[in-house]
Amino acid sequence: MEWQKAAKKWTLVLTGVLSFQWALAQDNAELQQTARNFLRTGDYANAILVLNQAITTSPDDIQLKKDLAFAYYLRGDYQRAYTVVSPLVDKKDADIHLFQIAGNIYQGKQDWKGAEKVYQRGLRKFPQSGELHCDYGDLLQNMKNFDAALRYWVKGIEVDPNFPGNYYHAARSYMWTKEPIWAILYGETFINLESYTTRTAEIRDVVLECYKKLFDDPAIFNSVPGESAKGKKGEATNAFMDAFKGVMAKNVSVIATGIEPQSLIMLRTRFLLDWYKFYGVKYPYALFDFQRKLLRDGMFESYNYWLFGPAANQAEYKSWTALHKSDYDNFTAWQRNHPLKLRDDEFYNTGKIATIK
């Protein structure tokens, strides 16, 4: 019958179109991978050539155009990068990475207000993105708006607690505020999330220095635990900090001979015992749970030498690991199998950020 012949004809046509589109998609995927290989080796000219070729056959492919904008950006051709990326942020399928690339391109053009608008638009679309909070904080810091930058990094920690970048920046910033405790907590968290980079070594120094700063200023311990647990919104932050300070102050005699790995092991051990006796239920905190598991599993000494040893004294650290090779090897194996995992409902830093000194 005629309708059957027509149906068969259109089925063949449709099959041919779909086969062509599938083959085209496969070709473009291969071209995109080729371009990304060029980008990784720093051959931006060839990456741009390949991406432009792919775009001629798929002019609406946002991923290809995103890579092209990034290639122009890496080559330092900010105007072409801007021309490619600026229409993309309005697309429905614009993703977090596209907003990050766009922000970098606007900054490359020194269009600070444009970059700010890009990040704000991205955060409206992806309010839980740790990456965009981190990048926006970087921009604000470059604009010398340090308090606002810190607020965005702290917000990034709240909404995306397992993204390391915000901990890195927040720890560095809090080192210069009246609350070194946040530098200690965020710094140690970062070291566990990003354990073997140049930034790790930097934050080890920050954490050790902030322990010294914590006990160098007796005024830090003036607040009474629990005194701010009632009243206005945001005071829970002060209550958590007061609890931390109270437990630390109780054990201050442990570090009378100085801040070094062995005294910190004793201080932090006593802190954990007292914290879980008085505050563990009221203020659950994944980092403290992680430390307590290390303590229970016999890994706490090795962990603390790993954490503080390289910053405190590199020679003594190497000597300790050589003398305790078996213990240290057991810890590194344990560490690989027990990564720190942060939890969404344990954010206590909701109060006003202390004025930077």
pLDDT in tens, 36-48: 898 899 999 999 9
Q: What is the pLDDT of residue 179?
A: 83
Q: What is the pLDDT of residue 207?
A: 98
pLDDT band at 14 (very low <50, low <70, confident <90, very high): very low
Q: Mean pLDDT over residues 257-271, rounded? A: 94
Q: What is the pLDDT of residue 217?
A: 74
Q: What is the pLDDT of residue 177?
A: 87
| pLDDT digits 0-9 by tens, 106-143 | 999 999 999 999 999 999 999 999 999 999 999 999 99
Q: What is the pLDDT of residue 226?
A: 44
Report the percent of the chain where pLDDT is more than 90.
73
Q: What is the pLDDT of residue 220?
A: 72
Q: Which of 123, 238, 120 is nearest to 179 (CA)?
A: 238
pLDDT band at 223 (very low <50, low <70, confident <90, very high): low
Gap between the terminal Cα atoms of the chain: 87
